[in-house]
């Protein structure tokens, strides 16, 4: 168990006098990061930046340069925020960046947290709750993913219309635990998770900029190992178009908190469906994502500009 999770478990067990094995890891995290604690984290950030972001952008592996596009940027390192997790993965820097992008006030998460780093799903999604408390209305989630559907190619951008998360189907949901209605409701419908209005806006940007995009289903696996050939075949047959190790749980917590979600994958490699297929390699994945990020950046900038002119879509 990582150090943060250990601290969290101990405080929970002490308060409720329960043995560790009785408690779900998600429930422990949610009990520790109370609404009040999240509010005080958000207040600390507000005091530092004095800026109200409307959109939060989460940068996937190799996609952190999106954060460098912000005007009048103010950086806060994750290490400066008490009880905020730390990034441990190559291609994830560890800064919140506040500033304007295409005239829209945004906060950019330059580096995300993944369950395979040892963090609970609830801890991985803590930043989404903080974004809500900072005043955000929309989250834009980005990631690097392996293509399963052979009509996708390395370098393609895939707009996520739905997801399938293997960890979330088996009691690894970040919303497990005592619910605080101030964040959101106990039961959350997620059949319209990836906003159709926002996807339509993004598709308009794709047409106008002449940057082709695909639309499909993102699959989440736990990682950090990639897929076996049998895993890939199973995922493809189940309806996933690409596969990664993030995003789905962040989207669910965003919906729970009442935020609208837009999400995109960059296809950085093809997940192996044959024993002769190329091995996925994280440093190559980061390089390819960074090399292909320019198109995604242009699309996001154009999307934010349109969103600014269509604020009714946020209602």
CA 68, CA 79: separation in Å to the nearest integer?
19
CA pair distance 180, 308, nearest whole angstrom: 31
243 contact, one of ligand HPA, ligand LQZ7MJT6, none, CB 5-8 Å limit per kind: ligand HPA
What tokens does 58 get? 């989460």
- Are the C-beta atoms of 285 and 269 separated by less than 8 Å? yes
By CB under 6 A, tell whether 249 contacts ligand LQZ7MJT6.
Answer: no
Task: Please list, in sequence order, all residues whose beta carbon lies within 8 angstroms of the beta carbon of residue 181, skipping any fewer than 6 positions away.
Answer: none
269 binds, among ligand HPA, ligand LQZ7MJT6, none (CB under 5 to 8 A by kind): ligand HPA
Q: Which residue has the tokens 């409701």?
A: 185
Minimum distance from CB of 244 to ligand LQZ7MJT6 (Å)?
4
Tokens 């730390």 belong to which residue? Answer: 86
Question: What residues contact residue 185 under an 8 Å CB cut-off, 6+ apart?
Answer: 179, 256
- The verdict on 143 binding ligand LQZ7MJT6 (CB under 6 A) reads yes
Nearest in space to 121 (alpha carbons), one of 165, 174, 166: 174
Map residues 261-300 to x or -, x wherever contact with ligand HPA holds by CB under 6 A: -------xx-x--------x----x---------------
Q: Is 244 in the site for ligand HPA (CB under 6 A)?
A: yes
144 part of the interface to ligand LQZ7MJT6, by CB under 6 A: yes
CA angle 66, 148, 172 (to 5 degrees): 75
Q: Give backbone dihedrals phi and psi of 261, rounded to 5 degrees, phi first.
A: -120, 130
Residues 70-129 that bind ligand LQZ7MJT6 (CB under 6 A): 89, 112, 114
CB under 6 A: which stretch of 25-33, 95-103, 108-116, 241-249 binds ligand HPA?
241-249
As beta bridge partners, residue 108 has: 57, 97
User: Looking at 218, 226, 256, 303, which residue binds ligand HPA (CB under 6 A)?
Assistant: 226
120 lies in the binding site for ligand HPA (CB under 6 A): no
Q: With CA atoms as reference, report the closest residue to 295 among 251, 271, 264.
A: 264
70 touches ligand HPA (CB under 6 A)? no
Q: Give one word for 83, left, alpha or beta, with left for phi > 0 and alpha for psi -120 to 50.
A: left
**Region binding ligand HPA by CB under 6 A among candidate stretches 35-43, 117-125, 233-241, 243-251:** 243-251
Site for ligand LQZ7MJT6 in 160-219 (CB under 6 A): none
Residue numbers of the site for ligand HPA (CB under 6 A)? 144-146, 226-227, 243-245, 268-269, 271, 280, 285
Residue numbers of the site for ligand LQZ7MJT6 (CB under 6 A)? 60-61, 89, 112, 114, 143-144, 223, 244-246, 282, 285
């Amino acid at each position: 168990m990582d150090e943060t999770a250990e601290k969290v478990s101990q405080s929970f067990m002490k308060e409720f006098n329960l043995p560790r094995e009785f408690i779900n890891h998600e429930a422990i995290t949610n009990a520790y990061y109370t609404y009040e604690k999240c509010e005080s984290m958000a207040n600390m950030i507000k005091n530092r930046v004095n800026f109200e972001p409307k959109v939060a952008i989460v940068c996937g592996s190799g996609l952190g340069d999106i954060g460098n596009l912000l005007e009048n940027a103010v950086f806060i390192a994750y290490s400066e925020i008490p009880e905020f997790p730390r990034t441990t993965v190559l291609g994830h820097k560890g800064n919140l960046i506040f500033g304007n992008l295409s005239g829209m006030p945004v906060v950019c998460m330059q580096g995300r947290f993944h369950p395979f780093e040892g963090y609970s799903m609830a801890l991985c999604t803590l930043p989404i709750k903080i974004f809500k408390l900072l005043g955000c209305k929309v989250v834009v989630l980005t990631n690097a993913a392996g293509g399963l559907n052979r009509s996708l190619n390395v370098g393609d951008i895939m707009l996520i219309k739905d997801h399938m998360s293997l960890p979330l189907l088996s009691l690894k949901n970040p919303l497990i635990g005592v619910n605080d209605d101030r964040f959101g409701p106990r039961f959350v419908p997620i059949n319209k998770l990836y906003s159709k209005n926002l996807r339509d806006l993004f598709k308009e940007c794709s047409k106008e900029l002449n940057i082709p995009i695909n639309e499909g289903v993102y699959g989440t696996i736990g990682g950090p190992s990639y897929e076996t050939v049998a895993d890939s075949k199973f995922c493809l047959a189940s309806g996933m178009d690409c596969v990664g190790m993030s995003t789905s749980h962040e989207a669910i917590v965003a919906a729970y908190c009442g935020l609208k979600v837009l999400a995109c994958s960059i296809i950085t490699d093809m997940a192996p469906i044959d024993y002769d297929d190329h091995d996925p390699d994280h440093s190559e994945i980061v390089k390819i994502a960074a090399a292909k990020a320019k198109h995604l950046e242009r699309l996001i900038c154009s999307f934010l500009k349109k969103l600014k002119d269509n604020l009714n879509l946020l209602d």
